[in-house]
Chains A and B, each alone.
Chain A
């Protein structure tokens, strides 16, 4: 079994990528409004646990996802309150929450370890799923995959085509100016922290009820939150590019599993961690493009320069800086 059929491979990349897409888009919303929620690695795990436990106890996917979203939003709210109203470093609060939520998840989820719980089945879209090749890849997936894919254009539209999206971006770029225009940046930021956190929570449940079903120690999604944070930077805070980054990571993960069978000399464990440094390497390469000598080299290659210009993005200018209305 060295080669997987391409359709199966792509379907699995898509399925692996969606929870990550939902989480990265959530973080993109939060960061676009100027706040860093560094707690992702912990809050994903905590909401995955809550989602699984609620799903197991009630048997309802709706309740499970709602509970997970509420969990993600609550953790994010803590970052917001500490960072925006109590004047603490957002990074410090986020980091402490990362570790604490992870331990909290294992502590509270302990009685539910290794239980057979509910798991989402794929939902075939009638008609479309019959199309050869594209059918199995695109239209025979769990509901979360469709939701995640629809989220990409939806958020893009909100950011760049609505007045509220403009306000959101303005708050992240220049809260002072917003304040003088009668927008309270802090209330906006709290709102988008909550929305972003809720999406992270949904992503957590999409893991524990979908592609990494169940609960146990280790859960198998540790480290994903950090990658999600890196992907937001890699994608230049642009929803479409961020989603592409998530696909790239999923491709590395799925590709690693197939490569295991080819390079048997390398221990399988190495392939499990390899996508993480590769993603960071990609981030380094994107950043390197800013370097003077490379910029000079690019001056003579306008076509390439234009293409690369599309790849990089600047962080929201007020990212991580707390706004005071005085």
Chain B
């Protein structure tokens, strides 16, 4: 019971710090904190249509975050999620383009999702391989690959996949409706996509906490030298972890295409890869809080969209709040760390 209490106390403390900080910031630019918070809440939870938009952010953000958890378990900073999302989107668009006239839209969509996971995982494998064989820290390998992915998307949009007539930053041609992820009347979000996300959360929970693979992975992350004594190959586990991580990110990219944009755009990843890293940090690298934090972050993202119009504020306020959450969480963890070391120690 005391652990839960402590957890709630920490959460409350973090929220108080963030609200105070954000209010001060808003007062600094001469805006009313009350009004801004009001817009953030009504813009995200105000109606079903708005909330379904929040879910549309929640799905890919959650997929990226739980994917990152696999990499973190193995001790890897998979900063390349961003590029893996992009590659997933490219894979989906590629398959959907081939399947436009096939007459089997559901099969095409299924294959497109597989392609998304495969390309995302493959892209992550490159970063993992560079780490293991090239000795390049995965942060820089991942970042480099993010830039390459960006280059590929731009090349596709302005080159081979350009819209007939004009190529522009608005992306490739929109797919016909039967290749959109199926949804219900009046829904902006596909229930299938929500189902996939929930299934993957449950699967991850089992794999990381109850399977032999999860246990071994944890061991590899904690002490790669010792696991060799147990006949495990740390390198293999690192590669598998980063491939799973990339596959989940790729799937997020695939859903961005088939569920939301229905075409390839330059900003197809929406920065969810980087944001996912913040989610996982705020969750203190644990699975259980991830879906809730992702929902909170998604609500901030969606709620802030109307800030420029209603209050002439930049929508990047959501990012500031998200960053402040992580920093104050690290502060709270840090103070706990200091106190656990005891005074005079």
Residues of chain A whose beta carbon lies under 8 Å from any beta carbon of chain B? 38, 78, 82, 85-88, 91-93, 95-97, 99-104, 106-108, 110-111, 217, 223, 226, 229-230, 233, 266-267, 269-270, 273-274, 276-277, 279-281, 283-284, 287-288, 290-291, 326
Contact = CB atoms under 8 A, between A and B. Distances in A.
Interface stretch (B151-159, B217-225, B227-235, B237-245): B151-159
B319 A102 contact: yes
B134 A100 contact: no
Contact of A88 (B77, B148, B151, B333): B333
Q: Which of B159, B333, B334 has the most CB of A within 10 A?
A: B334
A223 B143 CA distance: 9
Given A110-B314, A277-B147, A291-B133, A82 B331 contact: yes
B326 A96 contact: yes
Contacts of B137: 233
26 contacts: A38-B139, A82-B327, A82-B334, A86-B331, A87-B337, A87-B338, A88-B330, A88-B334, A93-B327, A96-B278, A100-B323, A102-B316, A107-B313, A107-B316, A111-B29, A267-B154, A267-B158, A269-B151, A269-B155, A273-B147, A273-B154, A276-B143, A280-B144, A284-B136, A288-B135, A326-B345
Q: Which of A96, A217, A230 has the most CB of B within 10 A?
A: A96
B259 to A, nearest CB: 25
B158 A283 contact: no
A103 B134 contact: no
B281 A92 contact: yes
Contacts of A103: 316-320, 322-323
A284 B137 CA distance: 9
> Chain B interface residue count: which class?
35 or more
A97 B77 CA distance: 16
A284 B148 contact: no
Closest 10 CB pairs of A and B: A100-B323, A280-B144, A86-B334, A103-B319, A267-B158, A276-B147, A103-B316, A110-B314, A269-B154, A106-B316
Q: Which of B28, B313, B323, B324 has the most CB of A within 10 A?
A: B323
A101 B277 CA distance: 16
B130 interface: yes
A92 B330 contact: yes
Q: Which of B145, B278, B316 has the most CB of A within 10 A?
A: B316
Interface in B93-144: 130, 133-137, 139-141, 143-144
A96 B327 contact: yes
B140 A283 contact: yes
Nearest to A269: B154
A266 B278 CA distance: 35
B141 A280 contact: yes
B150 interface: yes
A277 B130 CA distance: 13
B274 interface: yes
B216 to A, nearest CB: 23
Contacts of B326: 96, 100
A267 B160 CA distance: 11
B74 to A, nearest CB: 16
Q: Which of A100, A108, A290 has the most CB of B within 10 A?
A: A100
Contact of A223 (B28, B29, B147): B147
A229 B77 CA distance: 16
B203 interface: no
Contacts of B288: none
Contact of B337 (A86, A106, A233, A277): A86
A196 B58 CA distance: 38
Contact of A288 (B134, B266, B281): B134
A277 B338 contact: no
Contacts of A85: 334, 338
B178 to A, nearest CB: 31
Contact of A82 (B147, B155, B314, B330): B330
Given A100-B326, A288-B134, 15 more contacts: A86-B330, A86-B335, A87-B337, A93-B330, A95-B79, A100-B324, A103-B316, A104-B316, A108-B25, A233-B137, A233-B140, A270-B155, A279-B144, A280-B144, A280-B145
B135 A290 contact: yes
A191 to B, nearest CB: 21
